[in-house]
Homo-oligomer: A and B are copies of this chain.
Amino acid sequence: MPRPRRPLLTRDRIVETALALIDADGLGALSTRRLAAALGVQGPSLYNHFATKDEILDAVADTVTVAVDTSGFASRDWLTALRDWAWSYRRALTAHPNIVPYLAQGPGRRPAALAMADAVYGGLVRAGWPPARATHIGAALRYFVAGSALGSFARGFVEDPELYAAHYPHLRQAHRLAEHQQSVDEGAFALGLDALLHGLAAEYTRTVETVESARPNG
């Protein structure tokens, strides 16, 4: 088949199909040939639209990231904005858990990921956090969200309770984790996020507000 009258592929169609395949079968199951087959095309044809497979994965990862809402940093206090962002971030990642290991390696050249980092950092600085602290806070929350979406604590355990009973006395009930996977993961996230934000709020009053009130214009 030579060049068709109307293109069979577009970047959007490729990204969309790739995400669907990753969601369905996992990151490891996505090969250029399988992806091409799902698009009704031969493998190398993809390289007319993307230079490498990693470029495809970058595009997939970025479409996942565009769903993250950072609007709170423009309209709410920093603590509320941080909480809303963290939950939105988590929802976006857990909607496509199989791409998370790839995505978690950093924003790199992905526009949506960079825009998100920019919004968070800018919002925190505007709220009075020193730049270095703003960087740390953004990073710490990203650690937490990425880790929570990546590991699915509950799913990480194995189904056979007998495997654990003998050697790990406290994990007797570990197999029950699978049953309540979602509630365990979400509960752990909620608890951890609340604790983190609680600690940050205390730090804020301790450093930022104190410093500002000590200045003449504070």
Contacts and interface: CB of A to CB of B under 8 A. Distances in A.
A96 B152 CA distance: 22
A148 B151 contact: no
Interface stretch (A17-25, A29-37, A137-145): A137-145
> Among the interface residues A101, A135, A147, which one has the most CB atoms of the partner chain B within 10 A?
A147
> Among the interface residues A105, A187, A195, which one has the most CB atoms of the partner chain B within 10 A?
A195
A78 interface: no
Contacts of A196: 192, 195-196, 199
> Among the interface residues A105, A146, A152, which one has the most CB atoms of the partner chain B within 10 A?
A146
A122 B199 contact: no
Interface stretch (A8-16, A169-177, A208-216): A169-177
Nearest to A119: B170
Contact of A171 (B101, B114, B154): B114
Nearest to A174: B117
Contact of A198 (B108, B133, B141, B199): B199
A14 to B, nearest CB: 22
A86 to B, nearest CB: 12
Interface in A90-139: 101, 104-109, 111, 114-115, 117-119, 121-122, 125, 131-133, 135-139
A104 B136 contact: no
Contacts of A194: 199, 203
28 contacts: A101-B104, A104-B151, A105-B156, A107-B156, A109-B158, A114-B168, A115-B167, A119-B170, A121-B170, A131-B173, A135-B184, A136-B184, A136-B191, A136-B192, A137-B191, A137-B192, A138-B188, A139-B154, A140-B144, A142-B151, A143-B143, A143-B147, A143-B151, A147-B147, A147-B148, A150-B150, A191-B203, A197-B199
* 6 closest Cβ pairs, A-B complex: A106-B156, A195-B199, A147-B147, A140-B192, A143-B147, A139-B188
